Amino acid sequence: MKTFIALTLLVVAVHGIDKEFVQQIQQKMKAQAEECAKEVSATPNDVAELFAKKIPTSREGKCIIFCMHKIYNAQNADGSLNMAGALENLEMIKDMDADLYTKVSTAFKKCESAPFDSDPCVYATNLAECIVKEGKALGLDDLVIE
């Protein structure tokens, strides 16, 4: 699973974006993911799966994604999708790489139809999987989670 920043976690693709900026975001997101893991009682293995770019197998691992989505306003506390919040997070890359912004926002918009689940953690994972799939279809093969 290759997600996070803007995504999921917010998705950040490393195209024309300043590498130092990407590293700062990655460090921030890693710290947030570790805090989310504590919040949802996830195990070190759950966190390791995410950082290994794998889809979490446990509910707690999936809840890390939901927690991250709440931090970045991609999902509301009740689990519902907050597309406006998710897209707002992408604004930071718009001036750095307009093409990347367009592709990532397109991927997000296509995922409004991701399979809904009443469990917000499962739904968060469905959204993340969709974003990766749609991003790859648009040529974004280097979506990162680190």
The runs of H, that is alpha helices, within the chain are 19-39, 44-51, 59-71, 83-94, 98-110, 120-137
Q: Which residue has the higher pLDDT, 67 or 139?
A: 67
Q: Tell the residue number behind the tokens 């809904």, with chain if given.
A: 116
Look at residue 122 in the predicted model and tell me its pLDDT: 97
Residue 81 — pLDDT band, cuts 50, 70, 90? Answer: very high
pLDDT tens for each residue of 96-115: 888 888 988 999 999 999 99
Domain 5-144, CATH homologous superfamily name and number: Pheromone/general odorant binding protein domain (1.10.238.20)
Query: pTM (2 decimals)?
Result: 0.84
List C-alpha distances in Å: 127 to 6, 23, 59, 69, 104: 12, 24, 15, 10, 13
The domain segmentation of the chain, as residue ranges, is 5-144
Sign of the dihedral defined by the CA atoms of residues 139, 123, 74, 44, in that order = negative
